[in-house]
Amino acid sequence: MIKFFRKIRYNLMSENKTGKYFKYAIGEILLVVVGILIALQINNWNENRINANKENTILTSIHKEFKLNKKQLDSVVGEHQIAHRSCAKVISMFPIKSKPEQVVLDSLGAHLWWSYGGVTFNPSQTSINALQSTSSFDIIKNETLRDLLISWNDLITDYQEEEQRSRDHIWDQYDPYMSKHFDWNFNFKDERNNFNALQTLEFEYMVRGRYDFIDQILYASGELQKVQQTLNNIIELSKPQNN
C-alpha cells in the first residue's frame, strides 16, 4: 500500500503536476489522520469495554459481600435488642423486694443472663481493601457509590467504638460485680446467691448502666442508623448491570 501511494506521488511530480501533488498530499495526510483517529477510537472502546468488565466484576463482589454484611449486622442488632429489652425488664422490677417470689427470681435470672449481649459487628472488608490497596476506586463510575465505599471504613470505626465501650463496661464493671454476688447461670434456686445484693443501689446502677450502653449503640449515638443506611445504599447501587 505504501509503495502504491509512493508511485502516485512520483508520477505526479514527474509530470510536473504540482497543484495536484499538493492536493494529493493533503488528502493522504487526512487519510493518515483519520486512520489514527479510528485506531484511537478502537483502542478507547477496547479500554472502556475492559474497564466495564472489571467494574462489573468488582460490583458483583461488593454486592455479594455487603449483602452478607447486612445479614451479619441484622443478627448483631437482634442480639443488642434482646439485651436491651432484658435490661429494661429488670429495671421495671426495681426496687426488688427482700424476698421475691421464686417466679420473680426465675424471670430476673433469665433477663440478667440475656442482659450481657456483647456481640460485635465485624464486616468483611475484602472488596474495599482490594480497591484501596490498588488505588482502584476510580473504576467505580457511580460517584455516590464510590464516595460511600471510600467512607465505609471510617463509618465502621465510629460504630465499633460504641460496641467496644459497651464490651469494656461488661468486662470491667458489670461482670465483676455479677460474678461476686451471683452464680454463673443466675440460677436463683441456689441459696449461695447473695439475694441482698439485688436490693442495693449498686445493683440498680449496674443494670441501668448496661441499659444505657446498649441504648447508645441502638439509638442514641445514631451511628447504627448511618451504617444501616450506608449498607442498604451500597447494596442497591452495586447491583451488577446484568442483574
pLDDT in tens, 38-95: 656 765 665 666 667 888 999 999 999 999 999 999 999 999 999 999 999 999 999 9
> Is 119 inside any structural domain?
yes
b/e 186-208 (16+ beta carbons within 10 angstroms → b): bebeeeebebebbeeeebbebbe
> Is 94 inside any structural domain?
yes
Decide: 112 and 140 in contact? Cβ < 8 Å. Answer: no
> Is 222 inside any structural domain?
yes
206: its cell numbers: 449496674
CA of residue 43 relative to chain centroid, distance: 36
Cα angle 70, 225, 59 (rounded to 5 degrees) comes to 40
Who's near 115: CB < 8 A, 6+ residues apart? 83, 86, 87, 90, 207, 210
Taking the complete model, does pTM exceed 0.85, yes or no? no
Q: For residue range 82-135, list pLDDT tens digits in order.
A: 999 999 999 999 999 887 899 999 999 999 999 999 899 999 999 999 998 888
| Structural domain containing residue 76 | 68-237
φ/ψ of residue 195, rounded to 5: -65, -25
Decide: 119 and 164 in contact? Cβ < 8 Å. Answer: no
> Is 207 inside any structural domain?
yes
> Is 59 inside any structural domain?
no
> Rounded to an integer, what distance in angstroms lies between the CA atom of residue 86 and that of residue 215?
12
> Rounded to an integer, what distance in angstroms lies between the CA atom of residue 170 and that of residue 217?
14
> Rounded to an integer, what distance in angstroms lies between the CA atom of residue 178 and that of residue 184?
9
> Is 26 inside any structural domain?
no
Who's near 109: CB < 8 A, 6+ residues apart? 185, 186, 187, 188
> Is 34 inside any structural domain?
no
The domain tally of the chain equals 1
Q: For residue range 188-234, list pLDDT tens digits in order.
A: 999 999 999 999 999 999 999 999 999 999 999 999 999 999 999 99
> Rounded to an integer, what distance in angstroms lies between the CA atom of residue 115 and that of residue 206?
11
> Is 232 inside any structural domain?
yes
19 pLDDT above the threshold of 80: no
Reported as type and span, the H/E element at residue 113 is helix 102-114
φ/ψ of residue 124, rounded to 5: -70, 135
